[in-house]
Amino acid sequence: MLLQAKSRGAFARAPAPSSRNAYSRPARSTCVRVSAKVNVEQLKALRADLFDYINSRGCNPIVVRLAWHDAGTYNKNIKEWPACGGATGSIRFKPEIGYDANKGLAIALGILGPIKKKYPDVSFADLYQMAAAVAVEAAGGPKIPMRYGRKDLEGPEQCAPDGNLPGAAHPFADGSASPADHLRKVFYRMGLDDKDIVVLSGGHTLGRARPERSGFGAPSTKYTNVGPGTSTASPSGRADRPVTPKPVAPTAAASLGTSWTVNWLEFDNSYFRDIKEKRDKDLLVLETDACIFVDDKFRPYAEKYAADQEAFFADYAVSAQKLSELGVQWEEGAPVTI
């Protein structure tokens, strides 16, 4: 791809793709083409680092949630950028990271911050969205067709106001009578539709809710007090996928939480199957999760994804890309694919 020079002529020095060790510095430099603002080689090296790091830490769920909460502030009715919110990297700033809905996500900023230092040309907005896409793929989910070159907003005063993300149970802050109404108000404001709502809810195939963060979930369950499920298979086909260590006993300050699925570090369609079967009180079903099998327009999608994992993966990839580009203003020369 022929892109413009960055600052030092048409071809500048930039890191080559890194070795496969998390946190290792790229071993050599090569001449690469870089755009005015988008450094494709750094993006590629970052993606390789993220695969290793996310797999070794088992932090897939929290980085998926971070990216969704960065993008999910988007308001399609506001035309000015960055006032419209979206995937702008705003969640790295106080006050936004301090909003109640974002409780616990400072941990994800702490995980990704040191990695970002190695790749100064990559925007925070690209980093967060890339990390989520990598986390899903590394957990055995679909490859999301990502594009890069998002502009970051520059300061805390530009953060979106609180209250843009969905609540999970009554009473809903917007006065909605039902969880389905609430989800529609929030996701339609982002320009997303019923299918997006249902398929993206499938993100809850990963991770847990903790009482000290969202207020949902028990301190531990039979699925969280043994680590990320019983399966140690490598869903992504990578034999070297490590299993995260067995967690220590829960405390009031740090619980083990309640997962939506048994194998909560594997991305599959068990979220839909488990809600449909209502099979286990140790698995979480929020009001907003339950409604996808109750609402007449949501149910056909939920049934389809419960029956057909390939259909879930295909639709998730499309909606996740949409989510990752909400409110994005692209740098010169962008969007780029890598």
Per-residue buried b or exposed e for 81-91, using 16+ beta carbons within 10 Å of the residue's own CB = ebebbbbbbbb
Beta-bridge mates of residue 336: 148
**DSSP secondary structure, 137-162, as one string:** HHTT-PPP---B-BPPP--GGGSPPS
By the criterion CB under 6 A, which residues form the site for ligand HEM?
Answer: 61-62, 64-65, 68, 104, 166, 168, 183, 200-201, 203-204, 206-210, 213-214, 216, 286, 288
CB of 202 to ligand HEM, least distance (A): 7
Catalytic pick from 69, 170, 182, 204? Answer: 69
3-state secondary structure of 6: coil
3-state secondary structure of 29: strand
3-state secondary structure of 14: strand
CB of 17 to ligand HEM, least distance (A): 27
Q: Toward ligand HEM, which CB reaches closer, 64 or 127?
A: 64
Q: Toward ligand HEM, which CB reaches closer, 26 or 179?
A: 179
Q: Is 103 exposed, middle or buried (0-12, 13-18, 19+ CB in 10 A)?
A: middle
Residues 6+ apart with CB under 8 A from 96: 73, 90, 102, 156, 159, 160
112 near 122, Cβ under 8 Å?
no
CB of 149 to ligand HEM, least distance (A): 22
Q: Toward ligand HEM, which CB reaches closer, 35 or 269?
A: 269
CB of 216 to ligand HEM, least distance (A): 5
3-state secondary structure of 33: strand
Q: Toward ligand HEM, which CB reaches closer, 26 or 166?
A: 166
As a whole number of Å, the CA-based R_g of the chain is: 20
Furthest-apart CA atoms within the chain: distance in Å: 62
Residues 6+ apart with CB under 8 A from 334: 35, 37, 38, 147, 148, 149, 150
Q: Name which of 96, 94, 95 is nearest 86 in CA terms.
A: 96
Active site residue 69: yes
CB of 72 to ligand HEM, least distance (A): 7
Q: Toward ligand HEM, which CB reaches closer, 104 or 247?
A: 104
Task: Give the phi and the psi of residue 163 in degrees, each rounded to 5.
Answer: 100, 10
Q: Toward ligand HEM, which CB reaches closer, 40 or 131?
A: 131
CB of 51 to ligand HEM, least distance (A): 17
Q: Point out the residues that are catalytic.
A: 69
